[in-house]
Structure 1
């Protein structure tokens, strides 16, 4: 079968380690099944693997990808939950299982014609949503859903600041937050990105680091060092900062005076549970919303998609479609 794999890792030149070509059919352990992939979405996680900054259990070479939609062995349309973990070991939350992994780390991922996954990881595809759109749900959109509806402790009408317009998580936060009745403010590095955020449902947009009209109830932080100081300044007393990524660096000054004096809560968030993926699918169907896709490419042209992800020109998600 055709697959996109990391044959090694190089921090300075990650795309030099990208391989597109034949790959063995997936092995299927007990309790697992095979999904025929109709569409798979790219994530920053895939670039981290190519850079060599994955988790300690990262296997190389490995098929990349954690997000997919396709057909199960009975022909049912499904989306794949990417987290391989035991809910019991995480007190009901598989993302908290100390041994949990994500497809594309310890196990071959979804950027292939077929992928092996635990049976419990299959979720029905939302009716009316394309395979390309559905493939974006298990990663960026599930991350955004958990941030907004689980970790942020928001109420309808609350104000949310989304740092960075254009990424998969930030576009999902904008669409989901607007649909949920939150007041969504977004920062973006270019005027065009800010305009597109408004079209997605943002109520106001700002340049990075801009002084806001008022402090917000919660900040959604995926950027890291470049926006952290602004996030601390922007949260109201008693507000929350929900962190799910640090694409510009993970070691900003903590500025603890801001944290304790204004009694801020800083919350980490990673992906989401299978049950939250089901909730997300139902939410999208109920509100007639779907992921924003920047481009759809054949699996064989994966290098173009990775290049766009690497240079930061993507607005939304890059989706790859394997040959039938």
Structure 2
């Protein structure tokens, strides 16, 4: 089968570490199901894998990808939940949590094998391409907003960064829930896109907010951390799901403890939350922003688009 793999590690140029070629089809395994992938999407996790973060040389070549939607052998349309080991299904209770493409081959292939329990029915109204955007970025945003930050209609949130899959998901979900949304970006084009998705205020990176917010969605790290800590109200919450610009050199601990700010980390969400999110999207008429689509054979071009940082929304691959 055709697949996009991490063939080597390239910290400075992740595209150079990716190869597209033939790989063995998944082997049969008890309590697992092989899904024919109809669409997959890229995430920053894929760039980190190509740079060598979270993988060892002896695991290579490793098939990339955490997100996919497709069909089971009996023809059922499904969405893949990418967290393996969190609930023990298919692997036993003692296995530590991993994401697809960390221990088990990922979704950027014509087929992917996952624990059968990790499959969520694809609801009517969502296409395979739309659903393939949901399991990492949208599920993470959903958990950040409504579980970790506990936001409710009428409250406010700052989303750091305006163009990526996580930020566009957070803006769309928060706006649909009646939350006041602030978003930051250096790009006027991305700020305009965020406003079109429902952001109330789209500001230059680092700009002072009209008022402090109840929560911050933080995935940038060093470049935005100080601004996040200074933008949240006393007693508010900063929810962290990444650090694309690296770890901050100063943690701002004095401000955090004095203003009793809560800092919470999030890595995706549960299978049940994925099911709830998909239902919410269908009922509310929400759809992911798809920046671009590529055939799987052009995965290098797709990863280059993601690495370049000019995308707005999700980059999708279609086998």
The two structures have a TM-score, normalised by structure 1, of 0.95
Match of 1:145 among 142, 145, 149: 142
Is 1:195 matched up with 2:192?
Answer: yes
Query: Alpha-carbon deviation of 1:14?
Result: 1.8
Is 1:163 matched up with 2:160?
Answer: yes
Spell out, residue by residue over 1:157-215, the C-alpha distance to the aligned partner (whole angstroms, 9 max, x if none). 10000000001100000000011111111011111110110001101111111011100
Instruction: Give the Cα separation in 2 of the matches to 1:16 and 1:179.
Output: 39
Matches within 5 A, 1:88-237: 99-237=96-234
State the partner residue of 2:237: 240
Query: Does the 8 Å CA contact 1:226/1:248 hold for their aligned counterparts?
Result: yes
State the partner residue of 1:17: 17
In structure 2, relative to structure 1, the CA distance for the partners of 1:56 and 1:273 (3 Å cut) is farther
Query: Does the 8 Å CA contact 2:108/2:317 hold for their aligned counterparts?
Result: yes
Instruction: Give the Cα separation in 1 of the matches to 2:269 and 2:58.
Output: 20
State the partner residue of 1:274: 271
Q: Secondary structure at the match of 1:242?
A: strand
The two structures have a TM-score, normalised by structure 2, of 0.96
Q: How many residues align?
A: 317
Is 1:263 matched up with 2:247?
Answer: no
Q: Secondary structure at the match of 2:59?
A: coil
Query: Alpha-carbon deviation of 1:21?
Result: 1.0
Query: Does the 8 Å CA contact 1:58/1:106 hold for their aligned counterparts?
Result: no
In structure 2, relative to structure 1, the CA distance for the partners of 1:97 and 1:225 (3 Å cut) is farther
Instruction: Give the Cα separation in 2 of the matches to 1:223 and 1:160.
Output: 15
Q: CA RMSD in A?
A: 1.7
Query: Does the 8 Å CA contact 1:86/1:97 hold for their aligned counterparts?
Result: no
Dislocated runs of 4+, deviation >4 Å: 55-58
Q: Secondary structure at the match of 2:233?
A: strand
Instruction: Give the Cα separation in 1 of the matches to 2:88 and 2:211.
Output: 42
